[in-house]
Chains A and B, each alone.
Chain A
C-alpha cells in the first residue's frame, strides 16, 4: 500500500486538546508522523507518498461503535430478524459491515448476533480480506432464559431454531452454552440480565439467578473472553459490577447504590446506553405500529427519562459512556449510529469534545486495543476520517455520509477523498 500524506488538515488527535493545523503521514498501516504547521511553513515533501491536500478539512480518528449488531436486518421485530435464512443472513451481515465502514466506524464491538456463527464468520472474513468491514469483535447470540428477552419460540413451535437468543436454564446449561460459543470463536459473550418491554418482559425486571451469571462469567474468563450484558434494570446493573461483567449495555435504571458501585469501579466497565434506540422507539416508530401512546404504555417514556438522568449522573462521576446501540431495527437503521453522539450532547450534557472522545479515545480499550487506535499520534494504527466541517461545532456532521470525505482503515482508503482533492494535489505537486 502506498504511503499517504495528509496536508493542510485540522487535526483532532483524540487527546482532548483543541484541533490544530498540520500534516499527517501514514506509512504502511500506521501513522508515522504528525506535524503542526506553523506560520509560513510548507508541507514536508515525502517521496513516493500520495499527497492529499485536505484544504482545511477536519481529520480525526476513526470512530468505534460499542454495541453493534451487524445481523439485525432493519426489520421491526426480533422474529423478522430471526426468520431470515442463514445464507441470506450472512450476505446481509457482509453488506452491513461495509456500510459501517462507509459511515466512519472503523471499529465495531459486536454486541450479539442473530444466529450462532454470523459474527465470528464476518469477523474472520473481514480479517482475511474476503469482505470489507471495520475491525470487529465477534459476539455470541444473546443468552437468555425461557420467557426472557430473546426467547422468541412459541409454545407450539418450541424448536431452538425459532429462538432469537440462546435459551438456557440452570448453571450447567449456561456453562455448556458459553463453552459452545467459545468453541465457535467469539470474542465476547452476551447475556441478557434484564427484560425489554417491547418483548413482553418489562425493562425493570431481571432474569437469571446469581449462580447462572456467576457460571457465565467464570467460564468466559476461563476462556479469556469478555462478558457483555443487556442490563436495563437496577438489579442487573449492580450484578454487572458485582460479578465483573465488563460491558454494560443500557443501564437505564441506575439508583444511587448502582451509581456508587459503578463509580468505585469505573475503569473496569464500559457503559453504552443506546439512547437513540429509546428515543426512536418512543417518538419515531409510529410507522411500525409503535405510536407514542403504545410505547408510553410499554414504559419506554419513563425509561428514557430515567436513562437520561442515569447517564447525566454517570458522566458527572466520570464513568465511561460510549456511543452505539441496537441500530438495525426499522426505526434505527444501520448507518445512522452517529445519532448517539448528538444525543450525548443534547440530552446528557456532554460537550462535543467529550462526545468525540467517547467514540475515539475510549474506543481503543473498548476494542481491547489500548491506545493503538483512537488517536492521531505517531505509532498508532491509521484509522482516520476526513470530515468536511467541524464536529466540535456541529456534532451532527458525522451523520452525513457526504460530509465524511474519506475513511481510512489500517492505512488503506476504504473511501478515498473525492477527486477535487486529488486534483489539487496534482497541481501542488
Chain B
C-alpha cells in the first residue's frame, strides 16, 4: 500500500482495547500502516482523499492477539495424527491456517510450538516477506521434552526422532545443543515441556519432568541470544520452576499453591499466563465423537484439572496477574478458529468482566508480542491492526468467533478482509 494512502473509518463505536474506556462514537484515520487520528465526534472530519468506510455504528477494536498458537496442529485427534502429515503438505496446511487466523481477526499470534523443526520459522518469514497472508507471528521451536514426557511420540520399536512430535533431549548438554539448533533456524521462542499432560499416559498434568540443570542450560543460551522461553507447565512444581528460571510466559498453570501464586504475583509486571482452558473444557464435555467420553475424560484427570485451573486462574486474576487467551487450538475436538471462545470461558468461569476479557487480547496482546508501545490499542501512532464488528463484543463475546459478524480485518493498514460496505460504495462511486 502506498505510504500516504488513507483509510477513514467514520461512524464507528471505538473500543480502544485499554480496558479503561467504555466504547464511544467517533472516527479513526489510518495512514500507511498506522493509526494517525482518533476522533470522538462524528462530524468535523475531513475525508480528503481517504477511502471512507462508513461503519454505520459497527464496533472498531484492535486486532486480537492469540498468545499460544500452533499453526501446524492440523485438527487431528492425536499428536501422532499431527506428526504423520508429510512435510510438504504440512507447510501448505500451516500457510492456510495462518491466513484463516488473520481473516478471523487474530492480527497477532504467538507461536507456542510447531510440529516439525522449521515450520514456524518458514511461515513467519513467508508472512513477513509478503509471500503469504497471515498475522504478525513469533515463531516457535518444536516442543522440547525428555524421554517419556509429553511430546515423545516414539514407540519402543520405532525409536526414530522423525516419529516424535517433540524433540527429545536428555541432559543439560543435550538441551543446550537443541536450543542452539533452533536458534540457528531462527526461532523467536523456545518451547519447553516442563510438566506432563493428562493426554499422555504415564505423564499426567501433575508431573514435572525436567531437571533444573536442563532448564538452566536452555535459559542461558536463550538469554544470550535475546530470545524467549515459553513453557508447558500444568503442574505446581513446573510453574515454580519456570518462575525460578526467569521464564516469563507460562502456558496452562492449572495447579498452583499459595507459594506459586505468591511467586506469580510478585512477578506480575513481567509474567504472562495463557492457560488454554478451552481444550480442557472440550475434552471434558465435547470430545465424545473422537473417543473421549466424559467418563473417560474424568478418568484421565480432566475434571480435577478443570476445577484446579479455575481456582488457580481466578486467584491469579484477582492478584493482578495477566491471563491471556489462546491455547492448543488445532485438535479435532478443539479446532482452529474457535480461539476467541477463550474470552467467553474467562467471563463464565474465571470471573472476568467482558471488558477485562477484551483487554486480555488487546492491551495485553501488544505486551505479550513485545510491542506494547505500538500494538494492541486504538491510539494515535499505533499500528493499524483493526477489527470491524457487527455488534457489541462487550454484550456478546461470541460474535468474535462468528465470521459473519467480523465485517473487516485490517493488519498494518491493509485490509485482510475487506468490509462489504466499502465494496458496495466503491461500486457506486465507479458507476
Contact = CB atoms under 8 A, between A and B. Distances in A.
Interface string B322-366: 000000000000000000000000000000000000000000000
Contacts of A125: 89, 92
B95 A91 contact: yes
A423 B431 contact: yes
Contacts of A427: 431
Interface in A109-149: 117-118, 121, 124-125, 130-131
Interface in B96-112: 96
A121 B132 contact: no
A94 interface: yes
A124 B88 CA distance: 11
A121 B91 CA distance: 10
Given A95-B131, A117-B88, A118-B88, A87 B96 contact: no
A85 to B, nearest CB: 7
B88 A130 contact: no
B95 A94 contact: yes
A88 interface: yes
A88 B92 CA distance: 10
Contacts of A88: 122, 125-126
A87 B92 contact: no
A102 B311 CA distance: 56
Contact of A91 (B86, B89, B126, B427): B126
Contacts of A130: 92-93, 96
A112 to B, nearest CB: 16
A87 B91 contact: yes
B86 A90 contact: no
B89 A121 contact: yes
Contact of A121 (B92, B118, B122): B92
B430 A419 contact: yes
B130 to A, nearest CB: 11
Interface in B378-431: 427, 430-431
A91 B122 contact: yes
A426 interface: yes
A365 interface: no
B430 A423 contact: yes
A86 interface: yes
A125 B94 CA distance: 13
B91 A90 contact: yes
Interface string A295-330: 000000000000000000000000000000000000
B299 interface: no
A85 B88 CA distance: 11
A86 B116 CA distance: 12
A121 B132 CA distance: 18
Interface in B66-105: 86-89, 91-93, 95-96
B88 A86 contact: yes
Measured as residues with beta carbon below 8 angstroms from the partner, the interface class of chain A is 20 to 34
B242 interface: no
Nearest to B117: A87
Contacts of B427: 423
Contact of B119 (A87, A95, A124): A87
A152 to B, nearest CB: 21
Question: What does DSSP make chain B's interface, helix, strand, loop or mixed?
Answer: helix
Interface in A400-429: 419-420, 423, 426-427
B430 A91 contact: no
Contact of B118 (A87, A117, A420, A426): A87
B427 to A, nearest CB: 8
Contact of A426 (B86, B122, B131, B431): B431
Interface string A69-94: 00000000000000001111011001
Residue in A85, A94, A118, A124 with the greatest tally of chain B CB atoms within 10 Å: A94
A427 B131 CA distance: 38
Contacts of B88: 86, 90, 117-118, 121
Contacts of B119: 87
A375 to B, nearest CB: 32
Contacts of B122: 85, 87-88, 91
Interface string B184-220: 0000000000000000000000000000000000000
B92 A131 contact: yes
Nearest to B86: A117
Residue in B87, B92, B430 with the greatest tally of chain A CB atoms within 10 Å: B92
Contacts of A86: 87-88, 91
B182 to A, nearest CB: 14
A310 B430 CA distance: 53
A426 B426 CA distance: 14
Nearest to A88: B122
Contacts of B125: 88
Contacts of A95: 131
A426 B427 CA distance: 10
Nearest to A427: B431
Residue in A121, A423, A426 with the greatest tally of chain B CB atoms within 10 Å: A121
Interface of A: 85-88, 90-91, 94-95, 117-118, 121, 124-125, 130-131, 419-420, 423, 426-427
Interface of B: 86-89, 91-93, 95-96, 118-119, 122, 125-126, 131-132, 427, 430-431
19 contacts: A85-B118, A86-B91, A87-B87, A87-B91, A87-B118, A88-B125, A90-B91, A90-B92, A91-B92, A91-B126, A91-B131, A94-B92, A95-B131, A117-B88, A121-B86, A121-B89, A131-B92, A423-B431, A427-B431
Given A91-B95, A124-B89, 8 more contacts: A86-B87, A86-B88, A86-B91, A87-B119, A88-B125, A88-B126, A125-B92, A427-B431
- The 3 A-B residue pairs with the shortest CB-CB distance in the complex, in nearest-first order: A121-B88, A87-B122, A90-B88
